[in-house]
Structure 1
Amino acid sequence: MTNLVRVRTAVLDAACEASGPQDAVPVVLLHGFPYDPRAFDDVTALLNQAGLRTIVPYLRGYGATRFLSKDTPRSGEQAALGQDLLELLDALNIERAILAGFDWGGRAACIVSALWPERVLALVSCTGYNIQDIARSQKPADPAQELRFWYQYYFHTERGRNGLTGNRGEFCKLLWKLWSPAWAFDEATFDRTAASFANDDFVDVVIHSYRHRLQNAPGDPRYAGIEARLAAQPKISVPTINIHGAVDGVNPVRSSEGHAKYFGAQYQRRVFEGVGHNPPQEDPKGFAEAILDVRKMAGE
């Protein structure tokens, strides 16, 4: 049985879906843009059957999660996501957890694993080491990769903000199709997630995330210290399995080759054939197996 749990952090009234034995090893599962906890429905069922506790939060700007104050900047920067996750662990009285996520959620999991490894039993992330190197963000990628990032450049314009505001459903559905070209999701599957995009803060958080990472929007001063630590590209020193979809339409599979140098503990890279940018929903069995395997790597 899944329960909706609400906890208060420093800036959020955070909503999470919790299931599985209360006293079991906790696994925090983190979605990205433009997704929500529905990406993990089949994964949580498998993990609960294996005796693990699962917590699946709605990130800031999604679903039932709300900011406590209208005056809090609607930041989507990486440091904010990492700090949100750390504060969520505190609010839930979780001393150490397995962290698993993709896209923005994978980034948050990497950040906590890198900066606060004492809180992390093990990590499952996607597309390699994905802590942003913002200082080098003005260095262009190859032209084909620049094309894949078209949506990011669109979001740097007011036309892009207006487009996301007025067409968020169709826009996000297009990204699903482009990023996971082999995934034949139906309308009902998309609609269940798209409900989370109705959050009043969704557009502001998304736009800030993409503008900040390219140095086109200031960060929230609250997170300046964390951003400074992330600028050093810290190594991740917890057992890690990194997943990369072989047909990821935004981050090609070759882009995570050689990322083992960013990890200082046991590290595995797994390529999921026929899978795109959303591995937990496209291959829930493989994603759940990675979590169970990294748990063994950690000796739990």
Structure 2
Amino acid sequence: MAEIRTLRTPVLEIACAEHGPADGPPVVLLHGFPYAPQGYDAVIPPLAAAGRRVIVPYLRGYGPTRFLAAATPRSGQQAALGRDLLDLLDALAIPRAVLAGYDWGGRAACVVAALWPERCAGLVTCTGYNIQDIAAAARPASPEQEYRYWYQYYFHTERGRAGLAADRAGIARLLWRLWSPPWDFDEATFATSAAAFDNPDFVEVVIHSYRHRFGYAPGDPALEGIEAALARQPRIAVPTIAPHGEADGVGPVEASAGHARFFTGPYERRVIPRAGHNVPQEAPAAFARCVLDLPA
């Protein structure tokens, strides 16, 4: 990673790295849970070589990113992630960028693409449409999918909060293995990303994220307007490519097969062979290709 800089937004000091020419078409690469910007290390060089300005931030609750005020709710809800991304674009004085991400990062990118399409030149969103339908969250899934979501139900309990606080790296390492079965990552690779979980707000942000999406925790009152807009499941009109790892262990590849209905602009779904949930780190060339195939 390049040297880390921080940018002040209304809520956060967001830490991020920049690569490539400062005057190039901007691309923002957004990580998920439980991952970190280092997952994009092999994606960045081809984008920078193609003349793109590449911005890779740490999400709230990760790495050096910090809240400005102790009183701000440590929310992990989708509206918070989307608002943070919009605020980052403002802090960088970037009017429009390609937004690319997976997991939480894909959700943030989808939120901005849906609600502020004028700020999004194109979208790469792993596993397709990532805006949560919280009103339908109580609807049971198949037994197999409920089994894959064990960690979310664990986090709904105080035992889960204590478990994450006691061994955040252990839980993350297990999820990496379960979600990306073909990926034989080594401990050094994991440790590079796991350092980002030492943020003092990591546990609270993660626990809130998984409780809020099921209606088990209230949202940040300042974000109610955004959540209300997202509850309508807004369609996305910007050009979009949706990669999905064929071996994804938490969101099976068939889950995104019908997501074209959520997109009113150009939309392409790409199944990435032998990749699991962490497509940028497992198939960096394929992920970079998705970004470069969008209009800048």
TM-score range, shorter chain: over 0.9
Say which SS state the counterpart of residue 294 (structure 1) adopts: coil
What is the CA-CA distance between 1:50 and the residue it aligns to?
1.1
Shift of residue 160 of structure 1?
0.3
- Name the counterpart of 2:40: 40
Q: How does 1:249-268 map to 2 (within 5 A)?
A: 249-268=249-268
| Distance (whole Å) between structure 2 residues aligned to residue 221 and residue 281 of structure 1 | 35
Post-superposition offset of 1:258: 1.2
**1:119 matches 2:112:** no
What are the residue-to-residue correspondences of 1:1-300 with 2, within 5 Å?
2-295=2-295, 300=296
Identity percentage over the alignment?
A: 63
1:104 to partner: Cα distance: 0.2
1:4 positional shift? 1.4
CA distance in 2, matches of 1:4, 1:57: 9
8 Å contact kept, 1:124–1:242? yes
Matched position secondary structure for 1:27: strand
TM-score with structure 2 setting the length: 0.99
Cα deviation per residue 1:18-60 (whole Å; 9 max; x = unaligned)?
Answer: 1110000000000000001001011011101111110000000
| TM superposition shift of 1:3 | 3.0
- AA partner of residue 170 (structure 1): G
Q: Distance in 2 between matches of 1:11 and 1:231?
A: 23
Long gaps (5+) in structure 1: none
Give the Cα–Cα distance (whole angstroms) in 2 for the partners of residues 261 and 61 of structure 1: 33
Displacement, 1:270? 0.1
Whether the aligned pair in 2 keeps the contact of 1:279 and 1:287 (CA below 8 Å) is yes
Letter in 2 for 1:54: V
Q: Secondary structure at the match of 1:204?
A: helix
Cα distance in structure 1, aligned partners of 2:91 and 2:136 = 34
Conserved? CA contact 1:58–1:64, under 8 Å: yes
The CA deviation string for residues 91-128 of structure 1, in whole angstroms up to 9 with x for no partner, is 00000000000000000000000000000100001111
Question: Any conservation in 2 of the 1:3–1:19 contact (CA below 8 Å)?
Answer: no
- Which blocks of at least 5 consecutive residues in structure 2 are unaligned? none
The one-letter code sitting in structure 1 at the alignment partner of 2:29 is L
What is the SS of the residue equivalent to 1:56?
Answer: strand
Contact 1:182 1:276 in 2 (8 A): yes
**For this pair of structures, how many residues does the alignment match?**
296
Structure 1 residue 2 displacement after superposition = 2.1
**Aligned partner letter, 2:80:** A
Root-mean-square deviation over aligned CA pairs: 0.7
Q: What is the TM-score with the length of structure 1 in the denominator?
A: 0.98
> 1: CA distance between counterparts of 2:198 and 2:258?
39
